[in-house]
Structure 1
């Protein structure tokens, strides 16, 4: 049975107008309000889920990028070490071979540094207009100096126009005046800088400074001179990648007392294991993040409490399928073509298991260490194929980006629907309130008239009893 309408708040007859109107308005709008609330909640959850999925994919791709850093390769079968990195640092590639080398550095490669003549007026000294020619290694670079230039403005112009060529300038203030000093990042014999075109800035880079005149500062540019196992070598650079096959030498200092530094190249099984484990960890982090987004939440009894934000989402299912497919594809290597050969297998929950015993056997018994780099980072390797699988989803303008755009449009549409419903609720409330207020007034009037009639009849009955 419906609850009776209370009559203790009406200003006239006593109808509970506010409660009556609220019940009627709610009956009219609740179904639509519940629908909008449900759709808004689902849409918001999906927007959040898409954002979390994209973050997980980006983190996974960043991890692969870090493992594929060409300046710090992670899958080299060999590692090079130096007994004294103040003399030489060693970096190995996958084509290195095990061995030891005695490296002695006699000279480091140096760059040219030359200075103009002295200017008593300092940085504000006026410099004549003209075409300044800076020469190095047979190349001439032109700098057009306009009228009104100063030593300071010429310095700034050189830095702006020549820094891309590795040539910069600065002003050094000596006791007798200021000089414009040119420096270069290019090392090696014959790379000395010369300057011409404007007489007061002319520099013969092959001549030393004499008095207040121009010239080189500390010495001519020179090649590095070093030896490997007693064999003499020269290099215009201090980074040498052709002296020993598979190794890059970074010469950092001159050998003390002429004593050689021991360099060792050996199999880096632990380094390879660490790199492979890093990939497995990164993939498992992605897999767990996606699983959390698509798995329903259950209570202690195993009953579903709520669906994951991307449960049954076709785009997410397609993405998972494409990523997992890459793991099972056969690579283009020689002996090593699948992850399972390294002890990496997919478990029931989709994560990867890394069997270190099988991995060690693959390196020690099957000698597959030198092929690991190709499997992961080579042309059409695992990382390249994995990125090709993920990019259509995670790239700007990709499927997830488009999905987010559509969800944002849906959210805006739901906002508009809610605003329309709010307007309807407001109008309906106002209309019903007006009608029931009028009814309350009419009922109050009728009640008063009834009371008057009753009073008349009571008076007549009383008069009749007296007569």
Structure 2
């Protein structure tokens, strides 16, 4: 605020202190209101933001659990992980299969002619840009080769421009010089790379590797794949081929028979417990975040301290919605709740825990019921997701709406603060002028009074001298 020092020389009063007192008295009630409302809105905005983030993480975890095999209890194994590995996904079922890998999928690989000057050789000595065209499966990738570009710069440009398309380039250097080696992450028959254009880099290139399909048999049924990662051969099973299967009799030069490995899908109570523990940890993380913003705590003296959202109706209904879905029965098995598997909640915090003894006993006979409890349209995952939808929607959810409302309140409070500052500045300036004028007037009156008193004194002295 602007201000003028008031000395009070004329009146003898401390007019500056008077103005300050009047201004402070006018500002105090409204300023206290703005400060209180701003602090409340800011802390609530922070608390709701934390809960929103925790709820988003919780719902994201529910989605992941619903799309993988977290609650199937199935695990995949390979009898020879040097040849192939496998994982059991959603949709997998118990079973074992015989696998023989006869050939791995290979990508296309090309080599340019050798440049005696090494990787710093200028491959475009003209004063104009040229074009190197890389073609794969009918799709062309045109690379601009600027004037003065070196082999290294071309290599870097290919990787930065077409790396996301699966193309990559390296430089191989030997006693004859350096050459560009071009390959692709896409393999299989028909994915051949070719070079063309007017850059000259395509002149004299050679095919290093011809692309080929992976060839394998599962239970003596022959199959091929353009990739070494196979997800469509066995339902719910992902297989990664690493090398060809070893020969049955490697000492026999004429032998072509290869040794089969076994890939198996089986129920694992350890895997099942790991999936349930993952849910428990995710659930507890959300409750912990909510409790931190809603629970009443005690200070060192034993006094109760309310959290920012203590007693908040929205938080109560959100917690209730989640707990209700946890306690609800679901599935079509004998056991229809996690409590029957020894998963219980703390009466104070609501946090879940697994009773190891009750779990081990229940899972021996009813392991399959776990999948039924969690999965499907009426399973716990789907119900918890649906129950929290109204709170978590990005722009129209309850938490998002409250966040927007609090943000608007803070903007309004900023406007209120500006208005208050302007009003107080105007008031101070007005009071300053008034007290300055008063002080000036008092000074003038004192001057006039002194003058009159002086005149009267002179007249009185004159009369006395005449007598």
TM-score (normalizing by structure 1)? 0.70
Q: What does 1:340-355 correspond to in 2, within 5 Å? A: 340-355=339-354
Pick one of 369, 372, 379 that aligns with 2:370: 372
Matches of 1:32 and 1:401, distance apart in 2: 29
Matches of 2:96 and 2:22, distance apart in 1: 92
8 A Cα contact 1:377 1:383, kept in partner: yes
Q: What does 1:133-144 correspond to in 2, within 5 Å? A: 141=138
Corresponding residue for residue 269 of structure 1: 269
Query: 1:414: how far off?
Result: 1.2
Matches of 1:47 and 1:352, distance apart in 2: 25
Matches of 2:304 and 2:344, distance apart in 1: 30
Q: Secondary structure at the match of 1:365?
A: helix
Matches of 2:13 and 2:247, distance apart in 1: 109
Pick one of 60, 82, 87 that aligns with 1:86: 82
Q: Secondary structure at the match of 1:256?
A: coil
Corresponding residue for residue 289 of structure 1: 289
Q: Which moved more, 1:336-345 or 1:16-25?
A: 336-345
Query: 1:15: how far off?
Result: 0.6
Matches of 2:27 and 2:167, distance apart in 1: 75
Matches of 2:141 and 2:229, distance apart in 1: 35
Matches of 1:135 and 1:48, distance apart in 2: 52
Query: 1:413: how far off?
Result: 1.3
8 A Cα contact 2:345 2:353, kept in partner: no
Post-superposition Cα deviations, 1:259-289, rounded to whole Å, max 9, x if no partner, equal: 5545554432222222222221221121121
Matches of 1:404 and 1:39, distance apart in 2: 15
Q: What does 1:55-454 correspond to in 2, within 5 Å? A: 55-68=53-66, 70=68, 73-93=69-89, 103-105=99-101, 107-111=102-106, 113=108, 141=138, 185-187=186-188, 191=190, 218=209, 221-226=212-217, 231=220, 233-236=222-225, 238-240=228-230, 247-258=237-248, 259-261=259-261, 263=263, 265-296=265-296, 298-300=298-300, 302-305=302-305, 307-356=306-355, 357-368=357-368, 371-399=369-397, 400-444=399-443, 449=449, 453=453
Query: 1:291: how far off?
Result: 2.0
Post-superposition Cα deviations, 1:271-317, rounded to whole Å, max 9, x if no partner, equal: 22222222212211211211222234554455445x43233433333
Post-superposition Cα deviations, 1:413-462, rounded to whole Å, max 9, x if no partner, equal: 1111111111121121122222223333444555563797599689979x
Q: Which moved more, 1:308-317 or 1:444-453?
A: 444-453
1:77–1:24: structure 2 CA closer, same or farther, 3 Å change rule?
Answer: same
Q: What does 1:18-37 correspond to in 2, within 5 Å? A: 18-37=16-35
Q: Which moved more, 1:162-171 or 1:81-90?
A: 162-171
Corresponding residue for residue 207 of structure 1: none
8 A Cα contact 1:296 1:308, kept in partner: yes
1:144–1:253: structure 2 CA closer, same or farther, 3 Å change rule?
Answer: closer
Post-superposition Cα deviations, 1:386-411, rounded to whole Å, max 9, x if no partner, equal: 23333332232123222222222211
TM-score (normalizing by structure 2)? 0.70
1:215–1:458: structure 2 CA closer, same or farther, 3 Å change rule?
Answer: closer
Q: Secondary structure at the match of 2:366?
A: coil
Query: 1:142: how far off?
Result: 7.3
1:31–1:115: structure 2 CA closer, same or farther, 3 Å change rule?
Answer: closer
Matches of 1:281 and 1:460, distance apart in 2: 104
Matches of 2:418 and 2:236, distance apart in 1: 69
8 A Cα contact 2:91 2:235, kept in partner: yes
Query: What root-mean-square deviation, in Å, do the aligned CA atoms of Structure 1 and Structure 2 show?
Result: 5.2
8 A Cα contact 2:67 2:90, kept in partner: no
Q: Paired residues, what number?
A: 428
Query: 1:17: how far off?
Result: 0.9
Post-superposition Cα deviations, 1:299-358, rounded to whole Å, max 9, x if no partner, equal: 4455445x4323343333333333333223333444453332332233323523323322
Matches of 1:166 and 1:439, distance apart in 2: 86
Q: Which runs of 5+ in 2 are unaligned?
A: 1-5, 116-120, 125-132, 143-150, 198-202, 249-258
